[in-house]
Amino acid sequence: MVYHVPVMVEEVVAGLVADPDGAYVDATAGGGGHSWALLQALGPKGRLLAVDRDREAVAVAQARLAADTRAVVRQGRFAELSELLAQEGIGPLSGVLFDLGVSSHQIDAPARGFSYRADGPLDMRMDAEVGPTAAELIAACSESKLAELIARYGEERAARRVARSIYRQQRLEPLITTQALRQAVAATRPQMLNKTLARVFQALRIAVNDELGQLQAGLTAAEVGLKPGGRLVILAYHSLEDRLVKQHFAALVRGCICPPRVPICTCGRKSSFKRVGYKFQRASESEVKQNTRARSAILRIYEKIEAG
């Protein structure tokens, strides 16, 4: 079975590789699909550090890229990017790619506990050896805290009702499988069960993996690691992560934060990034037909500029 079909490959490579002999980071290696395509566009002096927090993904990407001496694959999180770059002696960077979220393999493997469609342990950790599982998070949370988390990370309106049902079940028997969680959500009789399940599972996944905290740390590490003219390409799959990316770069593109009525800048902040091309790009219709996962992808490209 295919591990993961990479999304918007042509757009990613065209947007990222401006210098074929530069140093690049694929911060979300997954099955190595984007990494492999990037290597095809790099010259003999080009280098690529491919990183993933998931040990299974690292093994798959390593096997796929093993024959290419320009590539090195390492296990780690976004928050560890600067450290990994220093350890590998790679940089300053010409480009960094973030293809956010989970891979098809992670979703499709019942043992990982990401999917409400299959039965498996209620785990959801991308790095299956670190931190509490979704089941442990539910066991440690209060009902109001869980409701807040489902509302914030799942943007689910019935978050309180769902959290109440989860804890009603939890008191009878600890929720330790994806199907037990599914039943607790279904017991609230939502109009669109699958949509509610998707939002609740998304919320728990984001919380278990601290996805937004990691993204913020990764963007900051990339910002620092890039050289002027270096590019950042980000593929987001839901509004929370896309909003974070958009707001993060809006501030860096704008630079000055003085109120409009102030005639001369007093804050002294300068733009450090510019947007490249369109505000954002979507996958083509033909790609979405072949790969439904591409439907929700939003691609944004930014370029670091010389400090003025």
Give the residue from 101, 99, 51, 97 showing the smallest Cα distance to 232: 97
Pick from 15, 22, 33, 190 the residue near ligand SAM by CB under 6 A: 33
Give 260: exposed, middle or buried? Use CB within 10 Å, 0-12, 13-18, 19+.
exposed
Q: Is position 126 an interface residue for ligand SAM (rule: CB under 6 A)?
A: yes
Where in 100-119 is the site for ligand SAM (CB under 6 A)?
A: 101-103
Which amino acid, 93? L
CB of 97 to ligand SAM, least distance (A): 7
Among 16, 17, 57, 226, binds ligand SAM (CB under 6 A): 57
Residue 74 lies near ligand SAM (rule: CB under 6 A): no
H or E element in which residue 169 lies:
helix 159-172
Nearer to ligand SAM, 39 or 122 (CB): 39
Q: Tell whether residue 273 is a contact of ligand SAM (CB under 6 A).
A: no
Span near ligand SAM by CB under 6 A; candidates 99-107, 185-193, 241-249, 279-287 = 99-107
Note whether 27 and 96 are within 8 A (CB): yes
Compose the 180-199 pattern: x for residues touching ligand SAM by CB under 6 A, - for all others: --------------------
Q: Strands, DSSP E only, in the chain?
A: 23-26, 47-52, 71-75, 93-99, 226-236, 273-275, 298-304
Residue choice 6, 91, 113, 230 for contact with ligand SAM (CB under 6 A): 6
Interhelix angle for 33-41 vs 55-65, to 10°? 30
Nearer to ligand SAM, 99 or 182 (CB): 99
* Closest residue to bound ligand SAM by CB: 30
Per-residue binder mask for ligand SAM (CB under 6 A), 13-32, x = binder = ---------------x-xxx
Cβ(161)–Cβ(153) below 8 Å: no
Residue 104's Cβ-count burial label (10 Å; 0-12, 13-18, 19+) is middle
CA 269 to chain centre: 29
**For the CA atoms of 211, 126, 219, 36, what is the dihedral angle to 10 degrees?**
-150
Q: Among residues 39 and 158, whose Cβ is nearest to ligand SAM?
A: 39
Residues 209-238 touching ligand SAM, rule: CB under 6 A, are 214
Nearest to 212 by CA among 160, 155, 159, 254: 155
Q: How many residues bind ligand SAM (CB under 6 A)?
A: 21
Binding site residues, ligand SAM, CB under 6 A: 4, 6, 28, 30-34, 51-54, 57, 77-78, 99, 101-103, 126, 214
